Amino acid sequence: MGFQSGNLEKSVQSELIRKRSKIFRIQDFIFEKFLWLLAVGFILVLASIFIVLYWQSKPVFEEVGILKFIFGTKWNPDEGLYGALPHIYGTLVTTTLAILIATPLGFGIAIFLVELCPPKLRDFIGTLVEMLAAIPSIIYGIWGLYIFAPLMSKYVEPTLHAIFKDVPILNELFNGYMFGTDFFTAGVVLAFMITPFIAAVTRDALNVVPPVLKESAYGLGATKTEVIIKVMFPFAKLAIVGSVILALGRALGETMAVTFVIGNIPNITPHLFDPGTTITSTLANEFMEAAGKLDYAALLGLAFILFVVDFLILWVAKSIFLQKAQRYKL
């Protein structure tokens, strides 16, 4: 009797296990297909954006010529001149400046918060840094126009011009009208905006470095600088590269803050202290004032170029950064 009861219990348990396995397989199947659906949906959204922007831009490409539109240097809708190169140039210059300034600044803030900041101030300062990322871009723009730009024109830009006036190449870069609304000011404001992204992600990445790795390095006689550079950064390199790429995407697409402080003049010049424009600032200034189908198509052509440029730059940046990270263990 007891033997039969034991067999019955085993058969019941086996049946329950089979039912649960079947349920788990169904759940896994549904979850897998749901993730596939999300991935495919995201690709379809990107493809639809690409197609719509190209289709809406087609009239100006046919009228002006796509190469002439991209590489043209004159932008004057009243005269039927549509050259996107000054806008592309301004976008690349301001983004490059922002990344060059924000990357070391963000890394420095992250290292300070993880390794050097007193524990009582760590959370407070970290929260302030994260709050900077939540400030609307128009606030940065207003601050940049009324507070930062006058300081740049009166103190910073003349000082930089005086310092580098006898240095080849740099004397051309740090030169221009010095009105305060220019490529340099726009790049610095963008750097302030994207630094919190780099700092926050890098800090979180450095925080998850196993203590045993750092303790082992200290035990071998490494200094704090060596531990940070040769142990912590290599361990968290993928997340750190991701933070820079995230900031790069944010800088490429920023609109309102740049519109306030760049001067909004289509201009190609080596002088960082000259006014210029970007694709996003031109869209913000002129989209509501487009007078005809061709003007509308030209602006959407700029949006299409921005979409393509963003995609290519982020793809190339990610590829290069990851290759160098693997090669040099950084």
- Identify the CA nearest to 247 among candidates 102, 86, 88, 91: 102
Position 80 confidence tier, pLDDT thresholds 50, 70, 90: confident
Residue 223 in 3-state DSSP?
Answer: coil
Number of residues that make up the chain = 330
276: β partners: 263
Q: What is the DSSP string of 143-158?
A: HIIIIIHHHIIIIIHH
Position 3 confidence tier, pLDDT thresholds 50, 70, 90: very low
Please, what is the average pLDDT of the chain? Answer: 87
Question: Is residue 323 predicted with pLDDT exceeding 80?
Answer: no
To the nearest whole percent, how much of the chain has pLDDT over 90?
45
Residue 118 in 3-state DSSP?
Answer: coil
pLDDT in tens, 151-203: 999 999 999 999 999 899 899 999 989 999 999 999 999 999 999 999 999 99
Yes or no: say if 174 and 273 are a contact pair by the CB < 8 Å rule.
Answer: yes
Residue 270 in 3-state DSSP?
Answer: coil
Question: Is residue 65 predicted with pLDDT exceeding 70?
Answer: yes
Position 117 confidence tier, pLDDT thresholds 50, 70, 90: confident
- Identify the CA nearest to 238 among candidates 323, 316, 300, 145: 323
pLDDT in tens, 260-317: 999 999 989 999 999 999 999 999 988 888 778 888 999 999 999 999 888 888 787 7
In angstroms, the CA 206 to CA 200 distance is: 10
Residue 32 has which token pair?
Answer: 């897998």
pLDDT in tens, 131-144: 888 888 899 999 99
State the CB neighbour count (10 A cutoff) for residue 10. 10
Position 7 confidence tier, pLDDT thresholds 50, 70, 90: low
Yes or no: say if 193 and 265 are a contact pair by the CB < 8 Å rule.
Answer: no
Question: Is residue 4 predicted with pLDDT exceeding 60?
Answer: no
Residues 6 or more apart whose Cβ sits within 8 Å of residue 36: none
In angstroms, the CA 221 to CA 203 distance is: 24
pTM of the model: 0.85
Question: Is residue 95 predicted with pLDDT exceeding 60?
Answer: yes
Question: Is residue 330 predicted with pLDDT exceeding 50?
Answer: no
Residue 266 has which token pair?
Answer: 């289509």
